[in-house]
Amino acid sequence: MPSKQEVRAEAARLQAFFRGAGVREIEPDVLQPAETLLDLYGEDIRARAYVTADPLKGEQMMRPDFTVPVVLWHVESGAGEARYSYAGEVFRRQERPEPGRSNEYFQVGLEIFDAADPAEAEAEIFARFAAALVPLGLRAAMGDIGLLTAAVQGLVTSAPRRAALMRHIWRPRRFRALLDRYAGRAKVPHARKLLLAALERQAPEEIISDAGLIVGLREPAEIVARMRRLQEEAAEPPIPAHAVEMIDDLLEIRETPSNALDRLRDIAVDLPALEPAVERLERRLDAMRGHGVDLDSVEFEANYGRTTMEYYDGFVFGFYAGGRPHLPPVASGGRYDALTRVLARGREIPAVGGMIRPGLVLELSREGL
């Protein structure tokens, strides 16, 4: 394993790749406000964050990544368009020891806050990371969370169903279970059948009254509201089978970006809500070609990025050691406009960025992959 001194030196070398991008080098505090930030991370990161209490500042956590703290830094500075790079340690608990994973490790990154040309910013990020990592011969993958969100928003179904599916975009199993349920593909649990049958005979308030003692943390009003939602959902027609099939076709795409674009255009013929996201993808690919990216060497996965950070809402990418599938990504990143909207209290600041693990770069360089 490389020493901390060696990792810091490698981090400095990698950070030099970003200086030509006109960046401001920053290092946000190690301790960050937990109450504000924990809900912005994916389930995996939330479960592994180190959280502590401060008598003056309240619940704090050691930064598990840099993107969210950098957005906070940017929002508090009041800056408009800006570029930042950083290098420093992040901290995540490891429930089970895994090769190549540590409780603390270095990240080096670049973040671009720029609304002028999103496709150009995304292409620049990817191209700079690819250039920094080219000696390693890594496998490059990319995707776009915006494609699936557009498909969900285009479904002919109720707003509550669309909202539930949107909440679980980053939880593939839960998303699949909900989609199957709303499409009438899943078996209705026996307990729910019994409850729905009871609701045909009695009002929710009467059922609760007849039940007597309520065990649990929910108030009676919450239970009534939940019963009524179940009734409303049961009365809704299923999502059409052809719509579910289109989402299945979308999620199965794993091609070169050019071939993926062709398949997505075909799907968009029957799902017009997809068209704006497909057009954004086309502009991004054109911009990447302009930066000299060999798209035939990149794998496009429509399902990519759905199990990482929940704040990514568009373009996502990663670089991997192809012969070492057990290792985490050497680099990863994406677009997170919605995150800026949350932290800036409604004022969206289009942003895209990514990080590299310098310790992993050193290990792979020494082992010759």
What CATH number does the domain containing 48 carry? 3.30.930.10
Q: Is residue 333 part of a domain?
A: yes
Residues 323, 329, 331: CA angle, nearest 5 degrees:
120
The boundaries of the domain holding residue 166 are 151-183+240-298
Is there a single domain that holds both residue 158 and residue 270? yes
Tell me what pLDDT residue 288 has: 98
Is there a single domain that holds both residue 233 and residue 361? no
Tell me what pLDDT residue 216 has: 63
Is there a single domain that holds both residue 159 and residue 201? no
Is there a single domain that holds both residue 179 and residue 90? no
Is there a single domain that holds both residue 61 and residue 175? no
Question: Which parts of the chain register pLDDT below 70?
Answer: 42-44, 95-101, 212-217, 368-369
Helix (H, G, I), strand (E, B) or coil at 98: coil
Is there a single domain that holds both residue 172 and residue 191? no
Tell me what pLDDT residue 42 has: 66
Alpha helix (H) ranges present in 20-117?
A: 34-37, 43-48, 67-77
Is there a single domain that holds both residue 10 and residue 96? yes
Please state the domain count of the chain. Answer: 3
Q: Is residue 27 part of a domain?
A: yes
Is there a single domain that holds both residue 272 and residue 259? yes
Name the token pair of 331. Answer: 């680099």
Q: Is residue 145 part of a domain?
A: no
Is there a single domain that holds both residue 201 and residue 157? no
Is there a single domain that holds both residue 231 and residue 342? no
DSSP class per residue in 246-277: HHHHHHT-EE-HHHHHHHHHHHHHH-GGGHHH
